[in-house]
Amino acid sequence: EDGGDGDFGVVLETRPKTKRPPLYKVMLLNDDYTPMEFVVHVLERFFGLNHAQAFEIMLTVHKKGLAVVGVFSFEVAETKVAQVMDFARRHQHPLQCTMEKE
Under the binding rule (CB under 6 A), the answer on residue 54 touching ligand TYC is no
Beta-carbon contacts of 91 under 8 Å, excluding residues fewer than 6 positions away, are 38
Question: With binding defined as CB under 6 A, does residue 46 bind ligand TYC?
Answer: no
Other CB atoms within a 10 A radius of the CB of residue 18 amount to 5
Residue of 61, 69, 77, 81 that binds ligand TYC (CB under 6 A):
61
User: Smallest distance, Å, CB 40 to ligand TYC?
Assistant: 9
Integer Cα distance of 49 and 40 in angstroms: 9
Binding status of residue 31 toward ligand TYC by CB under 6 A: yes
Any contact of residue 84 with ligand TYC (CB under 6 A)? no
Q: How far is the CB of 28 from ligand TYC (least distance, A)?
A: 4
Q: Which is nearer to ligand TYC, 26 or 95 (CB)?
A: 95
5 CB-contact burial (10 Å; exposed 0-12 / middle 13-18 / buried 19+): exposed
